[in-house]
Amino acid sequence: MKEMPEPGSPPPGHVLLKMKAVGVCGSDIHMYHGSESYPRKSPVILGHEMTGVVAEAGEGVVDFRKGQRVVSETAFSVCGKCYNCRRGNYNLCPGRMGFGALTDGGMAEYLIVRQGILHHVPDGVDDITAALTEPSCVAFNAVSTLGRIEPGDSVLIIGPGPIGLLSLQVALLRSPYEVSVLGTKRDSRRLETARSVGADRVFEDATEAAGALRTAGWGDGVDVVVDASGVSATMKTALDAVRPGGRIIKVGWGPDIPDFNLDGIVAKAVELRGSFSHNWETWERVMRLFRNGRLKSSRIARSYAFDDWESAFDDMSKLQIAKGVLMI
């Protein structure tokens, strides 16, 4: 932690945020240990799961005023001209600059954000929940938008980390027949959290899980697998567990290289989709679910004082907690 100059007044179309709470992402942990598998600026202020209060609005800002509580999306800037930007899928912009990786993020007292990526926080939604909007949107995009879970589907979620546990909550909103969560023996505490959130079955062994789930659902595997782990080896488990014609959504990523055959994708005619980030509609839908209490993301979180950031990072690294949130 170090002192940095305040950013000053916001330029036109931007607001200055006084930060209130910032979630610690798995990607922050990777950068903390130097094990990230994606480009980043160095040095960089971390943090992209953030909520704050408008401290000052720049010229031309009409929807936000001083004192309002807001959350910010993660794209500091996008090109606005590419195919995906023009279709509203700016999360897939090749020129996207993300907070906390390619530009300074929200683990600071103040941050300047463009108005187009801000959302109002409804009354009754606390700061911890608001700070978890971003990972909740990651889960929503993977599970609902791309996973397309239907009532009566059987689902496997691999990885009981923050995204896996939030994916579990979103999956349960879609009335599945059964949801299983796979972790490792080191994940015992987080698997207990998965049970308390509503998982029907939890597994600590991939071979056991694949064997048990090959006869799940319609008798030939699960309908949907959401791979929220940070390793590539779990793709083999996903292929073993999914039914022919099923769907695998990979949302977790890591630097390791797979050492297994991918012919199962062809043999089972599996739909394999990668899921990255989110867009405006995702944020508004998640905020609706926060407003009516249907999505309770704070159930997986523990708050820490900003000065105690290192404990939050270490507790997550050691799998003692699922999610840390720094209160600023």
Q: How confident is the model at residue 187 (pLDDT cuts 50, 70, 90)?
A: very high
pLDDT tens across 129-173, in order?
Answer: 999 999 999 999 999 999 999 999 999 999 999 999 999 999 999
* In the predicted structure, residue 77 carries a pLDDT above the cut 90: yes
Query: Do both 167 and 130 map to the same domain?
Result: no
Query: Do both 99 and 178 map to the same domain?
Result: no
- 325 phi and psi angles, rounded to 5 deg: -130, 125
Indicate the average pLDDT of the chain.
95
8: in domain: no
Mean pLDDT of 240-265: 92
Query: Do both 268 and 311 map to the same domain?
Result: no
Residue 294 CA to residue 271 CA, distance in Å, equals: 29
Query: Do both 52 and 37 map to the same domain?
Result: yes
4: in domain: no
Query: Do both 315 and 199 map to the same domain?
Result: no
Residue 221 CA to residue 239 CA, distance in Å, equals: 10
| CATH code of the domain containing 248 | 3.40.50.720
pTM of the model: 0.96
Q: How confident is the model at residue 7 (pLDDT cuts 50, 70, 90)?
A: very high
Query: Do both 24 and 131 map to the same domain?
Result: yes
- Last-in-domain residue among 274, 291, 308: 274
Query: Do both 106 and 29 map to the same domain?
Result: yes
What does the pLDDT read at residue 230?
Answer: 83
* In the predicted structure, residue 37 carries a pLDDT above the cut 80: no
Query: Do both 160 and 111 map to the same domain?
Result: no
Mean pLDDT of 234-256: 93
182: in domain: yes
9: in domain: no
59: in domain: yes
Query: Do both 185 and 76 map to the same domain?
Result: no
Which secondary structure element, helix H or strand E, spans residue 130, and what is its range?
A: helix 127-131
141: in domain: no
180: in domain: yes
187: left (phi over 0), alpha (psi -120 to 50) or beta: alpha
Residue 317 CA to residue 104 CA, distance in Å, equals: 22
Count of structural domains within the chain? 2
Query: Do both 121 and 153 map to the same domain?
Result: no
| CATH code of the domain containing 106 | 3.90.180.10
Question: Pairing relation of β-strands 222-227 and 242-250?
Answer: parallel
Query: Do both 246 and 285 map to the same domain?
Result: no
Query: Do both 192 and 293 map to the same domain?
Result: no
Burial 171-184 (b: 16+ CB within 10 A, else e): bbebebbbbbbbbb
140: in domain: no
State the number of CA atoms in the 13 A half-sphere of 52 facing the CB. 29
Residue span of the structural domain in which 237 resides: 148-274
What does the pLDDT read at residue 255?
Answer: 77
Query: Treating both helix axes as pointing N-terminal to C-terminal, what angle do 188-197 and 162-173 enclose, rounded to 10 degrees?
Result: 20
Residue 146 CA to residue 250 CA, distance in Å, equals: 10
